[in-house]
Each structure stands twice: as structure tokens, then as C-alpha cells.
Amino acid sequence: MGRASGRVLRERANLSFCIVVIFFAIFSVILLTEILLIDQSSRSRRANRNGGVNSASHGEEYLVYQGGGDLDLDGIGGRGMLGGRQQRYSGLLPQAPAMAQFTINITARDGVWQTVAATRYKFFVFSAYYDWRGGNRVIRVMGATKTRGPDRVWCLLWYQNNNSTYSITVPAKVIRENWNLKYSACFILCSLRLNLSVPGSVSIVSGGASSTTSNRLVVNHNYNTSRPKPPQPPIEKMAVCVKPLHFQYNQTVQMLEFIELNSLLGMDHIIFYNDTVSPSTDCILRHYLKEGRVTVLPWRLDMVSQREIRTEGLFAALNDCLYRSMYTYSHVALIDLDEIIMPKHNYTIQQFIQWMGQRINTRSTGSYSFQNAFFYLQWPDDVIIRHHMYESSLMTLRKTRRRAKLHPHKQRSKYICRPEYVVEAGNHFVWEFVPGHGTLNVPPDAAILNHYRVCEFGGDDCVKSASVVDRTAHRYRRKLVQRVSAKWEALRHQCSLPDISETMDAERKARLRQQMLLAEATLPPNVR
């Protein structure tokens, strides 16, 4: 027995010794590698100073993304780029694609997903915007790619007569709100040197073997670039941004209610992103499109929602909508179809903004944050609602009981922002402002976010929460019923809409089922 114990102890001692030796060996390899890399970096810097790097083959200095903050562009034509911290990289530079290999065989498009060819991982681009803020001049491209270790790409700038030039080579700047999924929305920032004018279009290309450009994006100017400053839209021009419509969205009554109620609140325009909707919903949207009241952009992103990227790539949609609205609308609300920003003392959002400005200094306000108030659909309908078929079909009129306790700001809150003061938009709050601007947390006695949904954790336990009756939305009752009923009757045959009474129970059940499935799929709870 004693011999066996001694043998076991010796074996453990030998094993421990081997582990220590292996550890020191690995540590030595890492240390040696670091020393060699530092030495290589020093030689590269000396070579750069002595003209050893052929700058013509790379266009400009190569930058590598390091996180959030400002971009040091000394010697490149600017200081501090909005939307990402990048640092000089002076190691071995990857070979830039040869200019001659690109052929002009694609028409520039805007607001449609296009592929970046020959990348290791999925890489798509959607739109491009000229962004001059912060003293820099960049083409900001909206895209989606790998969250960690995205492919390095080049910006190919197209001018008149199809003349082209390279801009700076930068990896994608991943948008912060990505839920640690494999893919994320991103910005690609294409720096314009001082001698470069704003191009008409831009292509994002990789270093892979490809004889043609697989994408070409129209560069949206948003204003006349010859002016020293962009125009300031009047305060009465406001818009709404809605995340992508998906799951064959077919809530036709809810769609009409959302559009008409936001119109009563003073919103001039709504921007939708269409992944999949039902034929009836598509017909309704086309009607409003002809009236000039909505914009509908196709949104078919080849990434698996919730497994590869968050909710149909909603953060790319929100940021595209932000930049698409910039210099056209003074304020933009980023909300969902089951949400309404409800002022307490004012009839319209314009009146609310002016009312707030009379009470506090809002000169530096970049966004107004509204606390979330759940109006759970499991609570019974309001007892004072008449049995008028249209009135009783509208969710904002039926559901007036809400949870007494509101969520704190940044938890399920939504916001209205000044687009020109925002660099990166999130779902519940702004991630980055232009320096000198920030968020105003609106007190709940001034305005809140009415959020109509089922219990967020599944089941019906939420109805046990302390609650109050809030009929603020009833101030719009008469006009809202008139507008929705008029639209429904006008579109009934054109869009194959049934009698309104036939849709009520079916839509309620469908909405409950859809939101319950969403609640089960979206954990942790601080989701929407």
C-alpha cells in the first residue's frame, strides 16, 4: 500500500514538472515572437521614413481598426474621424488590388444589398453617404460583415467618365450593438483626401481574385456639396424610422393605425425596410408610397436572423435611416410598429419639442429619450370603448391600462434624435454623438413611450403587475377613427381587405402568437 502511494506521488511530481516546463516553453515562444514583431515594426518604420515602402502601390497609409473614438489622420488630410478609432499600421502591407483588373459592368444603385466579392466571410453593402462632420470628409458606407476579424477592403471611388481612384484602405468598423453574434452591421469609412471631390458612386472591393466589381453604390450627398454648410430643415419636418418588416408581416389594421396616428402626431414621413410582408400589407404600403408619405426599401439580407445577425440586421437599417434622413428632416423617431411616442401636454411632437425648449436649454440636445411603458395586450379592453367596429379594432384606443412602473432610460426606451448630431444610432439609445451633443432624458410627466405587446417573458404573469389607466391616446380618437376607416374603405377592394370586423379576432390572435414567439426567442429580457 505504501509503495503504491509513493509511486503515485512521484508520478504527480513528474507531471507537475512537465507542465511547468511546457508553460515556460510556450511563454518563451510568445516573448520571442513579440520581440521579433517589434523589431520588424521598427525596421518597417525606418523603411517608410527612408522611402522604402512604395506608397503608390497602396494609395495611402494603411489603417487598422482598434475600437471606438477618433481617427488620427495627420498627414492624410484631416484630424479625428467620426465613428471609429483607427491607428497607423506600419507592418507588412497587404497588396492592393490592381486598378486595371476592375471593369465597369455594374450600374450604381442605392438602398439594396450588394455583395462584396472574394471575401473570406459574408460581406454586404447597402448604401453610401457623404459625411463631412467633424472637419473630415468621408464616404460612409452601410454594410454587414463578420463581427470579429472582418475582411480588409478597399474603397474604389468612381467619378465622371468612369474615372476611378482608390481611397484609404480600412477594415469595417463594426457597429457596437451586435449581441456578439457572428455577423454585425458595420460602417466602412472611405476617407477623401483634400484633393478629391465627392464621387458619384463607390465600390467596396477586397484583395481577392475578382475581375469585376460586385457592387456599386450611389453616394448620397443629402445637400449641395458646394455650399459651405448643409441646409437646416425646418422643425416641422419630422420622420419615423422602423426596423425591417419580416415574418410575412400581415397586420394591416396595425399598419394603418401606425401610419395615421404618427401623422396626427406631426410626423411627415415614415421609412420602412421590407424583408417580407403579406400581399395586402404590400398593397397598403404602395398606396402610401404613391402619396409620398412613406419610403419602402427592399431588405433581403443573406444572413440568418437571430443566429448569424440580430433581427434581420436591424442596426444597419436604423443607421441607414438615420443618414438617409439627415439634412432632410429636423428630427427622426426610431420606433417599432407596436410603439408610439406620446406627449402628455402637447398634441404634436413639434409642439412638444418647442415646449421642452421653452423650459430648458435644448441647444446641445442630440436626442430625446422616452421611458418605456408597457400596455400589455392580456389586460382587458377599455370599458368606455364603444362597439363601433373601427374604434374597437384600434389597439391604441382599446388598450389603456399600462404598467405603473416605467423602465429606466436606456432600458427599452426609444428616442427622437437630431440626425446631424448623431454618429451611430442604437435601438434604445444613441451610441455616439457629434462632440458637444448628448441625450435629454424626458421626464415621464412630459412624454412616454406607449408600448403595446404581450408579456415579455411569456405567459400571463405580467398582468399581476401594478397598473394604471392611461387614456392619453384617446385625444386622437375621433380623427384616428375617421382616417383609418376612410383608408380601409378606399383600399378594401384594391388590396383585397376583408370586412373590418372579420380582421379583428384574426389579427389579435396573430399578433399575440407572433409576439409570444418573439418573446421566447429574445433573451435576456432587455431586448427591444
Q: Please give the class, per CATH, of domain 238-521.
A: alpha beta
3-state secondary structure of 449: strand
3-state secondary structure of 175: coil
CB 466 within 8 A of CB 405: yes
Burial code (b: 16+ CB inside 10 Å, e: under 16) for 149-160 equals ebbbbbbbbbee
For the beta carbon of residue 245, count every other beta carbon within 10 angstroms. 24
Q: Which helix (H) or strand (E) holds 352?
A: helix 349-359
What type of residue is 123? F
- Give CA 522 to chain center in angstroms: 18
Place of cell 510568445: 30
Cα(395)–Cα(452) distance, integer angstroms: 8
Q: What is the pLDDT along the chain (528 residues), one digit of tens a residue?
A: 556 666 767 777 777 777 877 877 787 767 666 555 444 444 444 433 443 333 332 222 222 222 233 333 332 233 344 654 333 333 333 555 655 456 667 899 999 999 999 999 999 999 999 999 988 899 999 999 999 999 989 999 998 877 777 766 677 999 999 999 999 999 999 999 877 889 999 999 987 655 568 999 999 987 776 776 777 888 889 999 999 999 999 999 999 999 999 999 999 999 999 999 999 999 999 999 999 999 999 999 999 999 999 999 999 999 999 999 999 999 999 999 999 999 999 999 999 999 999 999 999 999 999 999 999 999 999 999 877 889 999 999 999 999 999 999 999 999 999 999 999 999 999 999 999 999 999 999 999 999 999 999 989 999 999 999 999 999 999 999 999 999 999 999 999 999 998 876 665 666 555 555 555 555 444 444
Domain ranges of the chain: 57-220, 238-521
Cα(462)–Cα(486) distance, integer angstroms: 36
**pLDDT score for 91:** 33
Quick one: DSSP state of residue 256? H
Nearest Cα neighbor of 297 from 84, 63, 126 is 126
Q: Which helix (H) or strand (E) holds 483?
A: helix 477-491
CB 205 within 8 A of CB 213: yes
Q: Which helix (H) or strand (E) holds 2?
A: helix 2-49
Cα(221)–Cα(42) distance, integer angstroms: 41
Number of helical H runs and strand E runs in the chain? 8, 26
Angle at 367 between CA 224 and CA 466, to 5 degrees: 150
Model pTM score? 0.80
CB 86 within 8 A of CB 97: no
**pLDDT score for 221:** 87
